[in-house]
């Protein structure tokens, strides 16, 4: 879930994108917390400073955030007080983020919160504050700490389908990595996206960023031929008429997805989710050597179809732009 922001249409080139990123992370724009940082800071000290600054912004969720969860069907979301072990877990996960991401969070993260009483569908919420792009709140459901990536995505993918008596099953394989690592990277990408104004709002003009070219007509409208594909009907596109698909058609759904540049069905929800999903899957693949896959089986356990996005040529064709975005170095 993402809050609304201004969506001025721009023509982006790779060079322009990098120029904006470098400007956004230049020392002159840093908050006071980093203003007195020495000119030459040992890498470990710089990392510790960034993580300390981000950790200092952990606090209770705002009333607006709680109201957003309630409006989404959660009955009693409450502030979660981190245990000592969870504090260590958050700190270690933040330290794994690329330097660019940590600096952007220092600049643009207003509050980091954790909530109880939120179902699995509400894993992370990034909300922009006010009408500027300067600050965002990020909130996570605390139960992510006890969930593996495989469990997280299996539940997420299964939401896309409804029983039809076929006894077909859909499972995700992502190893034993914890789900929080993935969701943090996904939501941090939203913060960076908010700050740079890359993705467009629902039905707003496309920003013309190269990574969206030929895929999106605007913030939420898929370009042909994806607009006419069965993937455009999935539940994550509910605002565009999407709905759960009969699970007997799951193999056809993932076969169609393999003909697109999307890493998963959730990426089809909007430009913003497409970008965040592409970045997070790229990190899983390169940094953690995890190649996620979705496996569709029949009632006897025979495999009907396997979708492994990081081996999809159309996904691979976008990776240079993803890597360029992800590994930009602050000035």
| Per-10-residue mean pLDDT, the chain, length 331 | 38 34 32 34 70 96 86 83 97 93 94 86 76 80 92 94 95 91 94 85 69 91 94 92 96 98 96 94 91 96 97 96 74 45
pLDDT of residue 281: 95
**Angstrom distance (rounded) from CA 179 to CA 156:** 12
Structure tokens at 65: 């955030």
pLDDT of residue 93: 96
> In this structure, what DSSP letter does residue 215 have?
T
> In this structure, what DSSP letter does residue 330 have?
P
The number of helix segments (H) and strand segments (E) in the chain equals: 12, 9
> In this structure, what DSSP letter does residue 76 have?
-
**Angstrom distance (rounded) from CA 28 to CA 45:** 20
What pairs with residue 170 in β-bridges? 296
Q: What is the CA radius of gyration of the chain?
A: 20
pLDDT of residue 68: 83
The total number of residues shown for the chain amounts to 331
pLDDT of residue 17: 34
**Angstrom distance (rounded) from CA 260 to CA 151:** 25
**Angstrom distance (rounded) from CA 179 to CA 143:** 10
pTM of the model: 0.82
pLDDT of residue 196: 85
- Classify 325 as helix, strand or coil: helix
Judge whether 291 and 310 are in contact, CB under 8 Å.
yes
């Amino acid at each position: 879930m993402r809050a609304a922001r201004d969506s001025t249409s721009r023509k982006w080139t790779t060079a322009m994108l990098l120029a904006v990123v470098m400007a956004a992370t230049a020392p002159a724009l840093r908050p006071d917390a980093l203003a007195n940082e020495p000119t030459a800071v040992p890498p470990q000290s710089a990392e510790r400073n960034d993580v300390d600054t981000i950790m200092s912004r952990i606090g209770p969720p705002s009333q607006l955030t709680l109201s957003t969860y309630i409006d989404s069907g959660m009955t009693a979301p409450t502030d979660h007080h981190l245990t000592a072990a969870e504090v260590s877990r958050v700190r270690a996960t933040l330290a794994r983020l690329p330097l660019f991401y940590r600096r952007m969070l220092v600049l643009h993260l207003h509050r980091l919160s954790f909530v109880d009483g939120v179902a699995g569908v509400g894993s992370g919420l990034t909300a922009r504050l006010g009408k500027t792009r300067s600050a965002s709140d990020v909130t996570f459901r605390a139960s992510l700490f006890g969930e593996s990536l495989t469990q997280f995505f299996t539940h997420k993918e299964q939401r896309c389908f409804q029983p039809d008596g076929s006894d077909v099953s859909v499972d995700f394989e992502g190893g034993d990595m914890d789900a929080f690592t993935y969701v943090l990277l996904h939501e941090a990408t939203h913060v960076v996206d908010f700050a740079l104004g890359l993705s467009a709002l629902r039905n707003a003009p496309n920003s013309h960023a190269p990574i969206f070219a030929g895929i999106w007509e605007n913030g939420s409208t898929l370009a042909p031929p994806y607009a006419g594909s069965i993937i455009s009907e999935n539940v994550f596109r509910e605002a565009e008429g999407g709905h759960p698909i009969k699970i007997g058609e799951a193999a056809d759904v993932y076969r169609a997805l393999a003909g697109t540049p999307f890493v998963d069905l959730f990426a089809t929800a909007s430009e913003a989710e497409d970008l965040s999903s592409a970045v997070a899957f790229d990190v899983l693949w390169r940094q953690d050597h995890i190649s996620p896959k979705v496996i569709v089986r029949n009632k006897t356990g025979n495999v009907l179809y396997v979708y492994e996005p990081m081996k999809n040529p159309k996904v691979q064709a976008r990776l240079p732009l993803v890597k360029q975005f992800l590994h930009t170095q602050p000035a």
